[in-house]
Amino acid sequence: MSYYLENVLSRQEQLEYEAEAENKDMQAPEGIAEIEHLLDKRIIRAIKEMGFEKLSPIQEQAIPYLLEGRDIIGQAQTGTGKTAAFGIPIIQKINPDLRRLQCIILCPTRELAIQAAEELRKLAKYMHGIKVLPVYGGQDINRQIMGLRGVQIIVGTPGRVMDHMRRHTIKLDDVNMVVLDEADEMLNMGFREDMELILGQIPGEHQTALFSATMPQPILDITHKFQKEACLIKVAAKELTIPLVSQKFYRIKNADKNAACIRLLEYYQPKLCLIFCNTKTKVDEVAEVLKAAGYQAEGLHGDMSQHQRDVAMNRFRNGSSSILIATDVAARGIDVDDVEAVINYDVPQDIEYYVHRIGRTGRAGRKGRSFTFVNAREVYRIREIERMCNTRVAEKKLPNASKVMKAKAEKYLEQAWEVHEHEDMELMKEYLQRKLEAEGIDALQLAAAMLKYQVGDKGHEIQIDEYSSRRGNSRTDGNGRDGRRGYGRGDDRNRRSMGRGHGENSERTSGRGRRGRKSEGDGGESRRRENRPNGDKRERNGGRRDVRRDGHPMGREKNGRRERKGDNS
């Protein structure tokens, strides 16, 4: 039962709602034919062209309500088809002849805004006259102002939308629908004030749709204030599990993570691999380590300019880079079907992020792999992930150096054999024959030397991280769970910052922000909370960092006042 339902519905209503949700979970999602009679034929044509065969649970429940003009609250995570769930009704309800703003969609990051705008354009492909524009920080605002002419749908980050509202470059008089996508994520990033100001300044009657993975109290406050008789829609977390993803974790020391990362890449040799880190600094570090090891790797995080991020993403999408290292926030716009493996270099701070991460692989019916690195003190987090996601994450030992060398040798020999089968080898044979005669060795010795040159030496063995307390008693129980505080959604809800002090204020590219703060050009996620690595006692800038016993940082003192927790990923 969600936090929202526990606090809003009576016990009888809870039981009825749960029974209805369970019944819907047991039924297969309906086909597109169920909603064809509600939609313009041109939209149906675009939907089918996009490959839709069945509606996802969130689409099946949300689309009819939104077409009726009802407000909705959708509790669903990324990857459940939310964009189409609100995008299809939006396109249906837009008046193409009215060349004024009619719908605003708020997203937490520029990547999500761009991705949602692209999907809306696909849905409106045959609906001539409908114009969609993403607006976000890091892009020239004057260029955006020019592009706003005749736009009916804006998909933007809250800060940049507010910036346009202050400049009066967007008019709200004809807005009849507002969508808050990933509302809890916007809340985490300090956008609550912006969200409420945007909703509060829409003058006429309008429809409001809110989608959120979790329902903390501030989200409930927004729904109570800005929605009327909203319909509750909940997608169970079990619908987010991805059975084609093999999930493993490795107990290793933090100092061995770089070596372990290379070990897995050498052994499994994925064509495309995503590596997730909790901090921007770690993203840069891992990218440099992998580049030094000869890999085509790119980093992706909030301190990079929009151009740098676009280049990194394009290189990953077209295969120029086989490895992308990213923070959770920066990776939210990644939509690549051919990712073969996901490596959780750091255990995600939120369990929802674990689902988002491993959901990047195993798509379109393909098999995928996910690997998570934990030290001995973090094993309890894996147990919490298993419990809350109803999944199994198997503990494995890293492939030893001999296995890795064998895998590398086999790959090289396979590649060499493919060349032998498809290329003319006569000239190469002449070179080899001369060498064999000159050195007086046989062909096997020369081939072995060439293979050794390609494969290299065996690496060192990476040991399992065995942890015990100073008194010799492990702090984990018999099931590998840590005896300390749990790792559930409730803890996450309690530790989230709701203030604006460290929010993503990325969209203020010129002028001054409220309260006299100077705006930033890229800003973006540079002021967003960063998921803190457990165990760090001091921040890199030398400020004092207190850490609770459960590993989560407390606030720190700065300039004589207590500062809110922040995330800068």
**Which class for 225: exposed (0-12), middle (13-18), buried (19 or more C-beta within 10 A)?**
exposed
Task: Give the CATH number of domain 241-400; options: 2.60.40.3140, 3.40.50.300, 3.40.50.2300, 3.90.1280.10.
Answer: 3.40.50.300
Task: In whole angstroms, give the CA distance from residue 428 to residue 569.
Answer: 51
Q: How many CA atoms lie within 13 A of 31 on its CB side?
A: 3
Residues in the chain: 569
Task: In whole angstroms, give the CA distance from residue 278 to residue 530.
Answer: 7
Phi-psi region at 92: left, alpha or beta (left = phi > 0; alpha = psi -120 to 50): alpha
CA 58, chain centre distance (Å): 19
Q: Count other Cβ atoms within 10 Å, centred on residue 542.
A: 7
Average pLDDT per consecutive 10 residues, the chain (569 residues; last block may be shorter): 38 46 42 80 90 82 93 81 92 95 93 89 93 91 92 95 94 95 87 94 93 88 92 68 78 93 90 92 94 92 85 89 88 77 90 82 78 90 83 89 74 72 78 81 77 68 59 40 39 38 37 38 40 41 41 42 41
Give me the residue spans of the domains in the chain.
3-237, 241-400, 405-455
3-237 and 241-400, same CATH topology: yes
Task: In whole angstroms, give the CA distance from residue 527 to residue 507.
Answer: 12
Residue 527: per-residue pLDDT:
40
CA quadruple 42, 45, 50, 51: dihedral sign: positive
Task: In whole angstroms, give the CA distance from residue 557 to residue 540.
Answer: 15
- Written as six digits, the tokens of 152 are 């009916």
Q: Is residue 103 within 8 Å of 81, Cβ to Cβ?
A: no
Task: In whole angstroms, give the CA distance from residue 295 to residue 273.
Answer: 11
Q: At 207, phi and psi to the nearest 5?
A: -100, 140
Residue 338: per-residue pLDDT:
83
Phi-psi region at 362: left, alpha or beta (left = phi > 0; alpha = psi -120 to 50): left
Q: Is residue 147 within 8 Å of 495, Cβ to Cβ?
A: no
Phi-psi region at 511: left, alpha or beta (left = phi > 0; alpha = psi -120 to 50): left
Q: At 224, phi and psi to the nearest 5?
A: -65, -35
User: What is the dotted CATH code of the domain comprising 3-237?
Assistant: 3.40.50.300
Residue 553: per-residue pLDDT:
45
One-letter-per-residue 3-state SS of 258-308? HHHHHHHHHHHCCCCEEEECCCHHHHHHHHHHHHHCCCCEEEECCCCCHHH
Residue for token digits 């372990």?
A: 260
What proportions of the chain, in percent to the nearest 5, are helix, strand and coil? Answer: 45, 15, 45
Kindly compute the dihedral angle of the four CA atoms of residues 401, 407, 412, 413, in this order, to the nearest 10 degrees: 120
Q: Which amino acid is at 426?
A: E
**SS3 of residue 91 by DSSP:** helix
